[in-house]
Structure 1
Amino acid sequence: MPSEPTDSELSVNSEKGILHPREQARHRSLNRLAAGPGIDRFVEWYWMVEWDLREPYLAEILPYPSVNVTFEQPGGAFVNGVCTRKWERELTGRGRCFGVKFWAGGFGAVTGLDVGSFRDEVWPLRDVFADADRLADLIFAEDSDVRRRAVFEAFLSDHLVAADPQYELVRTVIAAMSEDRTLTRVDQVTERFNLPIRKLQRLFRRYVGVGPKWVLRRYRLHDGADLLAGGQTAELADLAVALGYFDQAHFSHEFKEQIGLTPADYAARAQAERQSSYR
């Protein structure tokens, strides 16, 4: 029988991608678990959201360049392709969702699918795995996230593929894009990894589902929103340059286009939420 999670298993604490994180935390619970050995080649973490609300709340996410498999109660089991716009979900009444966040490229490596073919789409899980009809019931029959993880990993183990050098290359490139804030242009990526631009684009289309330029911009927007939400920067012009934008105007335009608020308004809302939580 699976043991309860240890501190190391519960160490997936990044709030990147969650818009207005303090506000969201007041309306739903969020727990995460790292993937187990072997499966962690393809899956980054698992997440469990639950809510019980008298009034509806609109949760907003700036998604990662990743495929998520979600098990919803009520609802079913779904494959969520890479979402290129802000994701919104109205939470109302009672509900819960057990999600599987694949590494960028991981779902494409396991399934052999061209992930770009279902960008911004949601498919029933059975359309990808014909034997997944009862998987949602089996997962929610368990009484802990650790046991739910075990059910999913037992299922996925039957579908794992041999090592794929192309996928491993994609993982390496994606890790650099995510972690290195000095990478702000695609030509920097191609130079670092000695990759022709057309090959990089083909790999990203097949495994990730979006182009390398989009991925860089999304990670830098994650960085910007995370810093603003934490109150860690006051000079928007300096932040824009650090994130690779030509100037503050370009950063503000893209930020508002993707998130719905200017950086200044987003920072002000985050500050108001922090002050409210201290009272």
Structure 2
Amino acid sequence: MTSAGEYAEAVAPEPIPVPPPEVAKGILHPREQARHRTLVRLPAGPETGRFAEWYWAVRWDLRGRPPYVAEVLPFPCVNVTFERTHTRCGGWVNGVCTTKFTRELAGEGETFALKFRVGGFGAFTGREVGSFRDGAVEITEVLPEAAGLTEKVLSASAPEQRRDIVEEFFTEAARRAPVDESYLLVLRIVARMESDRDLTRVDQVTERFDIPIRTLQRLFRRYVGAGPKWVLRRYRLQDGAQLLADGRPADLAALALDLGYFDQAHFSREFAKEVGMAPLEYARAAVVSESSRHT
């Protein structure tokens, strides 16, 4: 039997900070999106926290209002979601999403989810998570023992109650899970990828961690479900989108270099491809959204 303490070096022991929805990393057009739905985050428990980061709950009520398309640049991780909308109801395992995720919010609906750590779901289940990359499967197809869990979660009303139900389901299995040194290595690598903007190339990662490129690729295929190069680019694009939404960068060329791009043109092309609009257009949209909040 293992405890969360054995993962201390790879998993921060402090409670996971809960950023306000309007500045949450990965959410595109955060201020505009916050006008159409609510977002609550709750930390995972000590045992579940070995594999998962936080719970998140989104609710919207747009009855009598036009639908809204919410957009996200997702983290490179698996989410287990429980949803109830006017079009569907159920529980799903959502694999790593390598493109911009869009969701039309219409009428009244809600989603409650557990966000796993990068590599956490693969370590928890023993499955190669690349098998459901860019897709979602019903939760019982991956976790047969979860039969009835969706109904329990959706029958509760408060996010805290729902967290307790999901925690009870995952905690015992998490407590029994053995220490996985390969997973711990993936956690350390990914944490550095996310926080260190000087890491912009895969060869820098292999040098920093003294690991062969093929081993790194194999670890990411098994635990993450996407390659290390893509994970690096996703984190840097998330950084760029958040900085642009905050209105902080005054020099787009300098921002591109800070994010590890060869020049502004490379950053602009990749940003436009992934986000759907050029960086300056995205920044202007954030200014307009902020202005509309105060009118």
Q: CA deviation at 1:234?
A: 1.6
The CA deviation string for residues 214-236 of structure 1, in whole angstroms up to 9 with x for no partner, is 00000000000000000010211
Q: Distance in 2 between matches of 1:143 and 1:258?
A: 35
CA contact (8 A) 2:16 2:53 kept: no
Q: Distance in 2 between matches of 1:24 and 1:18?
A: 8
CA contact (8 A) 1:9 1:33 kept: no
Structure 2 unaligned regions, length at least 5: 1-13
The CA deviation string for residues 162-193 of structure 1, in whole angstroms up to 9 with x for no partner, is 11000010001000011111111111111111
Between 255-264 and 146-155, the greater mean CA deviation after superposition:
146-155
Match of 1:147 in 2: 161
The CA deviation string for residues 90-128 of structure 1, in whole angstroms up to 9 with x for no partner, is 000111110111000000001111111111011000001
Structure 1 counterpart of 2:17, one-letter code: S
Match of 1:129 in 2: 143
Match of 1:172 in 2: 188
Between 224-233 and 124-133, the greater mean CA deviation after superposition:
124-133
Give the SS at the match of 1:131. Answer: helix
State, as a whole percentage, how many aligned pairs show the same letter. Answer: 56
Q: Distance in 1 between matches of 2:182 and 2:277?
A: 38
Instruction: Pick from 266, 272, 277 the counterpart of residue 256 of structure 1.
Output: 272
Is 1:247 paired with 2:253?
no
Match of 1:272 in 2: 288
Structure 1 counterpart of 2:293, one-letter code: S
Q: Distance in 2 between matches of 1:168 and 1:9?
A: 19
Instruction: Pick from 180, 185, 202 the counterpart of residue 218 of structure 2.
Output: 202
Q: CA deviation at 1:142?
A: 2.3
Instruction: Pick from 106, 110, 113 the counterpart of residue 127 of structure 2.
Output: 113
The CA deviation string for residues 198-252 of structure 1, in whole angstroms up to 9 with x for no partner, is 1000000000000000000000000000000000102110010111111111000
CA contact (8 A) 1:11 1:33 kept: no
The CA deviation string for residues 21-53 of structure 1, in whole angstroms up to 9 with x for no partner, is 000000000000111111111011110000000
Is 1:138 paired with 2:144?
no
Instruction: Pick from 90, 102, 116 the counterpart of residue 88 of structure 1.
Output: 102
Q: CA deviation at 1:9?
A: 6.5
Structure 1 counterpart of 2:131, one-letter code: S
Q: Distance in 1 between matches of 2:141 and 2:264?
A: 44
Q: Distance in 1 between matches of 2:274 and 2:173?
A: 35
Match of 2:5 in 1: none
Q: CA deviation at 1:145?
A: 1.5
Q: CA deviation at 1:10?
A: 8.2
Is 1:70 paired with 2:104?
no
Aligned-pair RMSD on alpha carbons?
Answer: 1.3
Q: How many residues of Structure 1 are paired with residues of Structure 2 in the alignment?
A: 272
Structure 1 unaligned regions, length at least 5: 1-7
Is 1:16 paired with 2:25?
yes
Give the SS at the match of 1:82. Answer: coil
CA contact (8 A) 1:52 1:95 kept: yes
Match of 1:3 in 2: none
CA contact (8 A) 2:16 2:54 kept: no
TM-score of the two chains, using structure 1 as the length reference: 0.95
Instruction: Pick from 34, 37, 49 the counterpart of residue 28 of structure 1.
Output: 37
TM-score of the two chains, using structure 2 as the length reference: 0.90
